[in-house]
A and B are shown apart, each in its own frame.
Chain A
């Protein structure tokens, strides 16, 4: 059996953090929120482009990984921008597209997810919390129905 060697490397970051000056934690977090807001519009535009890309990839066969990568990016980016419902739908789509047996991925379910993401990005829905939650609830209902139909 290989013997394990234990050692304690020096962590420069620890020393730097303690240097005089810097920021209070509360100010650092406020500044980070403001910095994210500064790129919000660009990120939203990119998210819309990724939803469109998933949709066009869905029309062709054999592109499951590209769609998974795109929905994973939407999950992360929408969540970081505070778009919780959109992030949630993208995460569901990741779960669906990461099924081990590709033949189990229902194209109909993928389309439902893409439509839900489009709806959540429409001005009327994105500005209304009740409508956003309704879209999410409807998606879960449809996804459950499709899953039940595919196991029959």
Chain B
């Protein structure tokens, strides 16, 4: 994660953020951090049912949720949002997790959230992730069972033994190289800036 440049300007005055956490004091802490960032509209809920009602009728620019709410129903809430087909289905989502049971790790990965941030929340980390999510360049994937940002940060081709599901996936093995590798001098020559006389 890149360092934040201190003099970079951010404008969150018109952003509305949906904040969901079972703990009233965790909600307070996160809401205070967002207030510090200049966010003027924070819709906060400590009851998941109220948050679900909100999502059915309205939208926000960012959804921050502790998925452990209601015995882990927060994961399902994000998954349902992604599968809802509503206008807000692809809104950016950050999961903020305290201690996570091993059994819940796969739920976090498969929920369709953009990013997982570990509690305790520090303002600098939340701001980094917020900016990162806003500028996330990954495409959304809809493969039926999963809808959300592409979970692969690196594209290394389809898994071994599978054809791949992307139009750009190569359908045949590349095979061995037919020519010897470039020497270091040849690589240097390719990268070296050349003087151009106009």
Contact = CB atoms under 8 A, between A and B. Distances in A.
Given A2-B143, A16-B15, A25-B10, A32 B131 contact: no
Contact of B139 (A6, A72, A95): A6
B36 interface: yes
A28 B26 CA distance: 20
A35 B35 contact: yes
A146 interface: no
A80 B32 CA distance: 11
Contacts of B32: 32, 35-36, 38-39
Given A32-B33, A75-B98, A5 B142 contact: yes
Give the interface centre of A2, A36, A47 by most chain B CB atoms within 10 Å: A36
A98 B7 contact: no
B29 A36 contact: yes
Given A11-B134, A21-B13, A78-B120, A31 B36 contact: yes
Contacts of B143: 2-5
Interface string A15-30: 0111111111110111
Interface of B: 4-15, 22-26, 28-29, 32-38, 61-62, 68, 71, 90, 92, 98-99, 101, 119-124, 126-127, 130-131, 133-136, 139-145, 150, 163, 165-166
Nearest to B22: A69
Nearest to B119: A76
A19 to B, nearest CB: 4
Nearest to B62: A13
B140 A7 contact: yes
Nearest to B121: A80
A53 interface: no
Main secondary structure of the interface of A (DSSP, over half): helix
Given A1-B165, A72-B99, 15 more contacts: A2-B165, A3-B143, A8-B139, A11-B92, A14-B134, A25-B10, A28-B10, A32-B127, A36-B29, A38-B32, A39-B29, A65-B71, A79-B120, A87-B120, A98-B99
A46 B9 CA distance: 35
